[in-house]
Amino acid sequence: MQVLNNGLLVDPHDQNAIADALYKLLSEKQLWSRCRENGLKNIHQFSWPEHCKNHLSRILTLGMRSPAVGSEEERSKAPISGRKHIIVISVDSVNKENLVRIIRNAIEAAHTENTPASTGFVLSTSLTISEICSLLVSVGMHPAGFDAFICNSGSSIYYPSYSGNTPSNSKVTHVIDRNHQSHIEYRWGGEGLRKYLVKWATSVVERKGRIERQMIFEDSEHSSTYCLAFKVVNPNHLPPLKELRKLMRIQSLRCNALYNHSATRLSVTPIHASRSQAIRYLFVRWGIELPNIVVMVGESGDSDYEELLGGLHRTIILKGDFNIAANRIHTVRRYPLQDVVALDSSNIIEVQGCTTEDIKSALRQIGVPTQ
């Protein structure tokens, strides 16, 4: 209306106003002619070429949002940049004991004497970096054996850092990727979002008679700058994610929300932060070709499980009774998985079991060198 000036503006819920406007247009010939002429004179502003012109002119004013490519100096300090293949372990559907077993077996399967440094490992999970390191250290594994950790459901990426010149005489710490953080901070709600979610959490209750019991609580211990974590007391009373996402859209809060596999933790991250997007970030940042990235998953996973299956990377699905059934909150789906994921794709390999030989067999099928 502001551009074309070819009609009358009315309240769509006021039937009398609509009737009056229709009567006015039909009864006043001069108004009708003026609206017609204005429409014909300005309609070109809404043509397809004009739309393309406006769209491209807006794009030119935007700053670059793709990740910065690592410099030569950064690449020399990051072992991940020299790898030919990367195995990303994203198995959510197992207990900690079986996760450690899968990690050991994957490392043993991919290790080769001829090219020991050709394959690197990344652990991708909803856990925090402190939880990951505690788990690995508790079973005698050194965190420095990994090239990177994708933590907090894809909102943080850490790399091992050595205090000395060589790993053997250095203390290992983990350094967060600041470039990744600047990439995902777009439209992040921060403290305002946290306050809204804390208030929303008080409305998720279990009712027994007149007694109400809150089901979701803020989990500051497992939160980070770009991941707001909430502890779930009783997963059986969780609302579907689509309800939470709808509420956030109404409030103009652009972010991702997901439950972990057991539905005991809710994580809210920036719109550009997810485990699948973190994998693509590593591809751009360190020049690792996506077909050379192998993502290892279980039969089910966190709410972002589907995103880990599709794409140009390779996927290995570990099947077997070591997988724990997903919480019912993950099974609320109006469509079968095969409708959104091409499970018959050559990029997706299903293997029964998680032994070293099982993983070796799957890696050979997708061209990753093994022992």
Tokens 């030569």 belong to residue: 72
pLDDT at 80 (0 to 100): 86
pLDDT at 165 (0 to 100): 57
In the chain, the amino acid numbered 348 is: I
pLDDT at 116 (0 to 100): 60
CATH of 187-270 among 3.90.1070, 1.10.20, 2.40.160, 1.20.1270: 3.90.1070
pLDDT at 315 (0 to 100): 95
Q: What order of strands is seen across the sheet that includes strand 119-124?
A: 172-176, 156-162, 148-151, 119-124, 85-89, 293-297, 314-319, 348-352
Half-sphere exposure of 183 (CA within 13 A, CB side): 23
What are the pLDDT digits (tens) for 201-224? 999 888 888 888 999 999 999 999
- Burial label for 215, CB within 10 Å (0-12, 13-18, 19+), is buried
pLDDT at 366 (0 to 100): 86
Closest CA to 317 of 286, 348, 342: 348
For the chain, which residues make up each domain, given as ranges? 15-61, 72-184+273-366, 187-270
pLDDT at 67 (0 to 100): 65
Low-confidence ranges of the chain (pLDDT < 50): none
Superfamily of structural domain 72-184+273-366: HAD superfamily/HAD-like (3.40.50.1000)
Fold match between domain 72-184+273-366 and domain 187-270:
no
pLDDT at 123 (0 to 100): 96
pTM: 0.78
Decide: 110 and 83 in contact? Cβ < 8 Å.
no
What is the C-alpha to C-alpha distance for residues 272 and 227, in angstroms, rounded to an integer?
12
What are the pLDDT digits (tens) for 153-162? 999 999 988 7
Q: What share of the chain is helix, strand, coil (3-state, %, to 5)?
A: 45, 20, 40
User: Would you list the DSSP string of 188-212?
Assistant: --HHHHHHHHHHHHTT-EEEETTEE
What is the C-alpha to C-alpha distance for residues 109 and 178, in angstroms, rounded to an integer?
32
Tokens 């997963």 belong to residue: 235
Tokens 């090219």 belong to residue: 115
Decide: 156 and 185 in contact? Cβ < 8 Å.
no
Q: How far is CA 15 from CA 1, 19, 20, 25, 152, in A?
A: 20, 6, 9, 16, 51
What is the C-alpha to C-alpha distance for residues 336 and 343, in angstroms, rounded to an integer?
11
What is the C-alpha to C-alpha distance for residues 85 and 78, in angstroms, rounded to an integer?
15
